[in-house]
Amino acid sequence: MADSVVDSDVECGINEGDYVVLKRGDVYKSVQVEKSKKIIFEKQWIFLNAAIGELYGSTFEVDTGGKLNIRKPRNTEDDATEAKEAGQDNRHIMDDGKSQKLTRDDIESLKEQGMKGQEIIQQLINNSTTFRDKTEFAQEKYIKKKKKKYESNITILKPTSRILARMYHGREPGKVCHLRYDTLAQMLTLGNIHAGSKIIVFETCAGLVLGSVMERMGGHGSVIQMYPGGGPVRAGMESFGFPSHFHDTLHEFPLCKVNALLSGTLNVDEKETDSANNGQSEEQPAAPSSGSSESQSMEGSTDSAEAKKLEERLKLREQKAQEKRVKMEEKRKRLAAAAALLEGRNADGLVIASRFHPCSLLLGLLKFVAPSRPFVVYCQYREPLIECYTKLREQGGAINLKLTDSWLRHYQVLPNRTHPVLLMSGGGGYLLSGITVSADAATSGAPRKTGEPAAKRIKLD
Amino acid sequence: MSFVEYSDLIQEGDVVIIFLGHDSMMPIKVESGAQTQTRYGAIRHSTDLIGRRFGSKVTCSKGGWVYVLHPTPELWTVNLPHRTQILYTTDIANITLMLDLKPGSVVCESGTGSGSLSHAILRTIAPNGHLHTVEFHAQRAEKAAQEFTDHKVGHLVTVRNQDVCKDGFGVVGVADAVFLDIPSPWEAIMHAKKAFKRRGGRLCSFSPCIEQVQRTCESLLDHGFEEICTLEVLQRVHDVRSVTLTLPDFGPEEGGTVTKLTSDPAPVEVPPTANPSYSSVTCKTTTPPREMAGHTGYLTFATKPRV
Q: What is the pLDDT of residues B18-45, one digit of tens each?
A: 999 888 999 999 999 999 999 999 999 9
Per-residue model confidence (pLDDT) at position B255: 65
pLDDT, residue A283, reads: 40
Hey, what amino acid is at A309?
K
DSSP string across A281-336: HHHHHHHHHHHHHHHHHHHTTT-HHHHHHHHHHHHHHHHHHHHHHHHHHHHHHHHH
CA quadruple A173, A178, A180, A185: dihedral sign: negative
Cross-chain residue pair A411–B231, CB shorter than 8 Å: yes
> How large is the ipTM?
0.93
Residue-wise pLDDT tens digits, B56-97: 999 998 888 999 999 999 999 999 999 999 999 999 999 999
Q: With contacts defined as CB-CB under 8 Å, which chain A residues touch B213? A: 411, 413, 418
pLDDT for B257: 53
Rounded-to-integer distance, Cα A116 and Cα A114, Å = 6
B82 to each of A34, A111, B78, B144, how far by Cα in Å?
Answer: 53, 61, 10, 11
pTM (predicted TM-score): 0.86
Closest CA to B58 of A252, A2, B50: B50
pLDDT category of residue B283 using cuts at 50, 70 and 90: very high
Q: Does the bond joining B127 to the residue before it have cis omega, within 30 degrees of 0? A: yes
Q: Identity (one letter) of the amino acid at A245?
A: H
Q: How many CA atoms lie within 13 A of A364 on its CB side?
A: 18
Q: Which residues touch B121 (CB under 8 Å, ≥6 apart)? A: B96, B101, B107, B109, B131, B179
CB contact under 8 A, B214 and A452: no
Spatial distance between the Cα atoms of A109 and A105, rounded to a whole number of angstroms: 6
Distances in whole angstroms, Cα of residue B70 to Cα of each of A215, B55, B67, B85: 23, 7, 10, 24
Which residues of B are less than 8 Å from A194 in CB distance? 4, 103, 123-124, 126
Confidence of residue B271 (pLDDT cuts 50, 70, 90): low
How far apart are the CA of A457 and the nearest CA of chain B, in angstroms? 7
Q: What pLDDT does residue A265 have?
A: 86
Enumerate residues 6+ apart whose C-beta is below 8 A from B43.
B18, B28, B35, B36, B37, B49, B58, B60, B61, B66
Segment B144-159 shows an average pLDDT of 96
Residue type for position B235: Q
Residue-level pLDDT at A444: 34
Q: Say if residues B67 and B137 touch (Cβ distance below 8 Å).
A: no
When mean pLDDT is compared over A289-298, A428-437, B251-260, B279-288, the highest value belongs to A428-437
Compute the mean pLDDT over every residue in chain B, rounded to the nearest whole number: 92
Rg (CA), chain B: 26
Secondary structure of residue B82 in the 3-state scheme: coil
Cα distances (angstroms) measured from residue A330 to each of A141, A235, A253, A316, A325: 59, 21, 13, 21, 8
d(CA A388, CA A384): 6
pLDDT classification of B268: cutoffs 50, 70, 90: low
Q: What is the mean pLDDT of each run of 10 residues along chain A (461 residues)?
A: 44 86 92 89 83 86 61 49 71 82 82 77 82 84 79 87 96 95 98 98 97 98 96 95 96 95 73 44 41 45 77 91 91 92 96 97 97 98 96 95 95 94 86 92 37 40 37
Q: Check B228 against A456: CB less than 8 A apart.
A: no
DSSP A359-390: HHHHHHHGGGBPSS-EEEEEESSSHHHHHHHH
Angle, helices A136-150 vs A117-126, to 10°: value is 140
**What pLDDT, on a 0 to 100 scale, did the predictor assign at position A281?**
42
Tell me the three state secondary structure of residue B241. Answer: strand
CB within 8 Å of A158: residues ≥ 6 apart: A11, A20, A21, A56, A57, A241
What integer pLDDT is reported at residue A185 of this predicted model?
A: 98
**Rounded to whole angstroms, what are the CA distances from B268 to A381, A385, B209?**
21, 19, 49
Q: Which residues of A touch B294 (CB under 8 A)?
A: none
A194, A249, A385, A460: best mutation site toward chain B, by most B Cβ within 10 Å? Answer: A194
- Determine the longest span between alpha carbons in chain B, in angstroms: 87
